[in-house]
Structure 1
Amino acid sequence: MTTRTAGRPYHHGSLPETLVAHAVELLDEAGPDAVVVREVARRAGVSPSAPFRHFPDRAALLAAVAEAVAVDFGALQLAAVEAADALPFRALGKAFVHYALAHPHRFALLRDTVFTPARTPALEEGHRLFTEAITGVIIAGQQRGELRGADPDLVRIAAQALVYGLSQMFVDGYLDPTRADTLINDVIDLFGLGVLAPGSRL
């Protein structure tokens, strides 16, 4: 996410985007609690009251930040799919975990705003579109013979549970981030192979 260069005038209508960009900077620096309207205004070079013309309160600003982060998060994953030389579904999972590692505070905000049943209407619509896109990736992989022909929704939920849990373990410090690349690859590969030995029964 980008912000305007300090000292340059705003283009008409750009202030909300600029405020959100500075709020994301604060989020990255110290987490959601650091996103304070007065500091966002100071960084944007506007009066303390200016943000309230676009966001009625801090909660509204944070909601806009969550929406921007969710768009960024989804776009990065879909870009990984497009760039994958092989097994796009694997690239998707790796991109999910790498985003959480690179942006732990953004991941925490997503956890509290997107990975919850209490999504705002904008986040709900974004989540629906992203879910449809991921389901499409799964179906395409099944048609190419890369993924088994299970219910695409179940495949999606299982894969999301894996990468969400793995991401949270890294963010919480339970897993060593210096081993991230190896663990991500090995865990995703094991998920792909399955953990039951041939001939085993549940």
Structure 2
Amino acid sequence: MTKPDLLIHTAFKLFYQQGIHAVGINAILAETGVAKKTLYHHFASKEALIEAVLIYRDQIFMDWLTARMMSAGDGKFAVLGLFDALDDWFHDRVDVLLPFKGCFFVKANGEFSDHMVNDICQRHKQNITSFIQANLVGHSSELSAVDLAQSISVLKEGAIAQAYVAGDLDAAKRAKNMAVTLLG
């Protein structure tokens, strides 16, 4: 693993577990054994590292989610596969995502206001909704696909929040049942 990759991966792990503002650069350096000069050679600031971490998590999450949804089939089967994927994540059966600690993007978004972090988090959520919508286009009219994708996204977000905040690790199963009703 390259030093920038090590720094990004370690920063993500610490940010996800403890929060972005709670983790200082020195904690990341102590965990990685990388010198401060090396970190600043690759990332001009903590903000630049945060941006790289958000992009990293987005890529990892989207690759995982896309693969899982596509393995369930196409159209509404892919969309329903989203909830099976979430169930595996909530139950810590997805090594690439680390043990479940809620949505990193919701948590990161909450730590900032009027910041590039908020833009990246919003784009991540929009990309997921767009991917869901793309899988629904053949299922119904374009307008219905837009509405359905937004509703499915609300179910997804609610399941994640319920699993994390309330400790309801079966929330994805209930959300899937609601999605089946929505999709008909």
Partner of 1:62: 50
The answer to whether the 8 A contact 1:35-1:62 is kept is no
Cα deviation, 1:46-87, whole Å, max 9, x if unaligned, reads 212321222222232222212111111111111111211571
1:99 shift after superposition: 3.5
Largest Rg, 1 or 2: 1
1:94 is aligned, of 84, 91, 98, to 84
CA distance, structure 1, for counterparts of residue 146 and residue 108 of structure 2:
22
The code of the aligned residue for 1:55 comes to F
CA distance, structure 1, for counterparts of residue 121 and residue 3 of structure 2:
21
1:31 shift after superposition: 3.7
Is 1:46 matched up with 2:34?
yes
1:171 shift after superposition: 0.8
CA distance, structure 1, for counterparts of residue 132 and residue 109 of structure 2:
16
CA distance, structure 2, for counterparts of residue 88 and residue 168 of structure 1:
22
CA distance, structure 2, for counterparts of residue 35 and residue 93 of structure 1:
31
Cα distance 1:126–1:25, how it changes in 2: closer, same or farther (>3 A)? closer
Identity %: 15
Segments of structure 2 that go 5 or more residues without pairing to the other structure are 93-98
Partner of 1:133: 131
Cα distance 1:71–1:93, how it changes in 2: closer, same or farther (>3 A)? same
Cα distance 1:77–1:36, how it changes in 2: closer, same or farther (>3 A)? same
2:168 is aligned, of 157, 176, 186, to 176
| Structure 1 segment 108-127 matched on structure 2, within 5 A | 109-113=104-108, 119=116
Is 1:186 matched up with 2:179?
no
Cα distance 1:125–1:163, how it changes in 2: closer, same or farther (>3 A)? closer
1:72 is aligned, of 48, 56, 60, to 60
1:38 shift after superposition: 1.6
CA distance, structure 2, for counterparts of residue 98 and residue 17 of structure 1:
26
Partner of 1:167: 160
1:191 shift after superposition: 3.1
TM value normalised by structure 1: 0.67
TM value normalised by structure 2: 0.72
Partner of 1:145: none
CA distance, structure 1, for counterparts of residue 32 and residue 144 of structure 2:
48
CA distance, structure 2, for counterparts of residue 160 and residue 65 of structure 1:
23
Higher relative contact order (CA 8 A, sep 6+): 2
